[in-house]
Amino acid sequence: MKGSTMFRPIILALLLCAPALAEPITSGPRPLYLVDQMAPGPLRDRLMSCANDPVRRTLFSIGHRGAPMQFPEHTVESYVAAARMGAGILECDVTFTADKELVCRHAQNDLHTTTNILATDLAVKCTAGFTPADDDMRAHAECRTSDITLAEFRTLTGKMDAANPNARSVAQYMDGTAGWRTDLYAADGGDLMTHAESIALFKSLGAKFTPELKPAVVEMPYDGFSQEDYAQKLIDEYISAGIPASDVWVQSFNLDDVLYWIRHAPEFGAQAVYLDGSYRIEGWRPDLPETWVHQMGDLKAMGVNYIAPPTWVLLALVDGEIVPSRYALEARAAGIEIITWTIERSGPLQNGGGWYYQTIKDVTNSDGIMYEVIDVLAQQVGVKGIFSDWPATTSYYASCVGLD
């Protein structure tokens, strides 16, 4: 019955007043595990010196979808875990249902990998039902929030975001969690949330807000619901909840969304975050401004005060040392603040670190490099915050070096 319409209000009510959330913030064993992997030096010594110090809640530590390294993303459980690890800002990625209600999901079409929908009667409503793998094709499915109503969405439970492409059955397809993640905290599922519920929960946890307006996979306008309506509805839910704009960093990869907020909700637009996706363009390079879609001065002139590229865009190697990239330096020179993503999303870093470490892969040879990366981002790039799939890592660093 977990996640059912009957029990979800009770679960949320209990969490909103749970005394456990007033307990001291804890980081667990992982931060010091990472410190143990570091090469000897001043940074390692400083981080080790904080081993017995309390970890504080800090705005530098942002819970990326909660704490999805071990908890199902965008669930009550994931968000509570992130807050207990000191995340001062929590993220609800926002999309909408068939009846145009806002809910927390990373994509409008990810229910087949992030929830139990394929194992429920709602599977028949999916845009594309489960198709098993065969010798010529991988297993696949596509289930969208816009395939179902909010009432139906509430009956689902969250699971670790994964799918087995070689699956011959629904059960096999749903059982695809990476070995370095875990299903330990997902056995009973996770409680899904509306955007409005996330606002109430984050407030009760003492955290601030960074919702991301996700692109629709349905054609817009959707049943009369325009992109502008969508962007405004997100803002309206903060206004209705009495949340000050200064506590909210709204995000979008769509620059037009950011410009809409700047023009039509300027108090929120002042902290609107442009998720610069220019890196997807063939030939784009962080060290070559001539390949950039927008120069930093032009973005600033539009009213953009925050950008958020992935971590690798902000980093470069010079004589084997990790340093800020040209992109990072140009952004700061233009007076644009930087937030970045995502620490703790790559798994073990022994062999180059994968996508998030691509500009520094030649020196990425152990998990210990993670704190070197965080330190360069904080001290040399000057980022305001870092998204993490396991916020204890960034909370520990920020508490140790005295960041807000």
Host domain of residue 55: 8-106+190-401
Distance CA 399, CA 376 (A): 16
pLDDT at 367: 97
pLDDT at 205: 96
Distance CA 382, CA 374 (A): 10
The angle, 0 to 180 degrees and rounded to 10, between the axes of the packed helices 369-376 and 392-401 is 60
pLDDT at 332: 98
State yes or no: pLDDT of 287 exceeds 60: yes
| Amino acid of residue 276 | D
pLDDT at 8: 55
Residue 92 CB-half CA count within 13 A: 28
**pLDDT tens digits for range 79-89:** 999 999 999 99
* pLDDT > 70 fraction of the chain, expressed in percent and rounded: 94
- pLDDT confidence of 23, banded at 50, 70, 90? low
The angle, 0 to 180 degrees and rounded to 10, between the axes of the packed helices 8-16 and 195-204 is 30
- pLDDT confidence of 4, banded at 50, 70, 90? very low
Note whether residue 180 is domain-resident: no
Contact 235, 275 (CB under 8 A): no
pLDDT at 11: 55
What mean pLDDT do residues 32-49 have?
98
Distance CA 184, CA 174 (A): 15
Q: Are strands 212-213 and 208-209 parallel, antiparallel or unpaired?
A: unpaired
- Picking from 153, 169, 20, the residue whose alpha carbon sits closest to that of residue 74 is 153
Note whether residue 304 is domain-resident: yes
- Picking from 341, 348, 320, the residue whose alpha carbon sits closest to that of residue 33 is 348
State yes or no: pLDDT of 18 exceeds 90: no
308: domain CATH number is 3.20.20.190
pLDDT at 22: 56
Q: How many CB atoms lie within 10 A of CB 14?
A: 9
**pLDDT tens digits for range 120-146:** 999 999 999 999 999 999 999 999 999
State yes or no: pLDDT of 235 exceeds 90: yes
| 202 three-state secondary structure | helix
Note whether residue 168 is domain-resident: no
Total domains in the fold of the chain:
1
- pLDDT confidence of 67, banded at 50, 70, 90? very high
Note whether residue 160 is domain-resident: no
Note whether residue 130 is domain-resident: no
**pLDDT tens digits for range 371-381:** 999 999 999 99
**pLDDT tens digits for range 85-120:** 999 999 999 999 999 999 999 999 999 999 999 999
Distance CA 211, CA 120 (A): 28
List, in sequence order, every beta strand (DSSP E) within 207-363.
208-209, 212-213, 251-252, 273-274, 306-307, 315-318, 321-324, 337-343
State yes or no: pLDDT of 9 exceeds 60: no
Residues with Cβ within 8 Å of 396's Cβ and at least 6 positions away in sequence, in order, are 27, 31, 47, 50, 55, 86
Note whether residue 350 is domain-resident: yes
pLDDT at 46: 98
What mean pLDDT do residues 303-307 have?
98
Instruction: Calculate Rg over the CA atoms of the chain.
Output: 21
Query: Per this entry, what is the length of the chain?
Result: 404
pLDDT at 14: 53
Q: What is the pTM of this model?
A: 0.95
State yes or no: pLDDT of 342 exceeds 70: yes
- pLDDT confidence of 20, banded at 50, 70, 90? very low
| Amino acid of residue 229 | D
Q: Are strands 87-90 and 58-63 parallel, antiparallel or unpaired?
A: parallel
Contact 232, 264 (CB under 8 A): yes
The residue that leads in pLDDT, 11 or 362, is: 362
pLDDT at 250: 99
Contact 341, 310 (CB under 8 A): yes
List the structure tokens of 328. Answer: 């990072």
> By CB neighbour count within 10 A (0-12 exposed, 13-18 middle, 19+ buried), where does 273 fall?
buried
List the structure tokens of 362. Answer: 């030649």
pLDDT at 13: 60
DSSP 131: E
- pLDDT confidence of 3, banded at 50, 70, 90? very low
In the predicted model, what is the mean pLDDT of the chain?
95
Distance CA 358, CA 214 (A): 25
Contact 394, 348 (CB under 8 A): no
**pLDDT tens digits for range 195-219:** 999 999 999 999 999 999 999 999 9
pLDDT at 16: 57
- pLDDT confidence of 12, banded at 50, 70, 90? low
Note whether residue 197 is domain-resident: yes
SS3 content of the chain, % helix, strand, coil (to 5): 40, 15, 45
Note whether residue 154 is domain-resident: no
- pLDDT confidence of 7, banded at 50, 70, 90? very low
DSSP state string for 145-175:
GGGS-HHHHTT-EE--S---TT-SSHHHHH-
> By CB neighbour count within 10 A (0-12 exposed, 13-18 middle, 19+ buried), where does 254 fall?
middle
State yes or no: pLDDT of 362 exceeds 70: yes
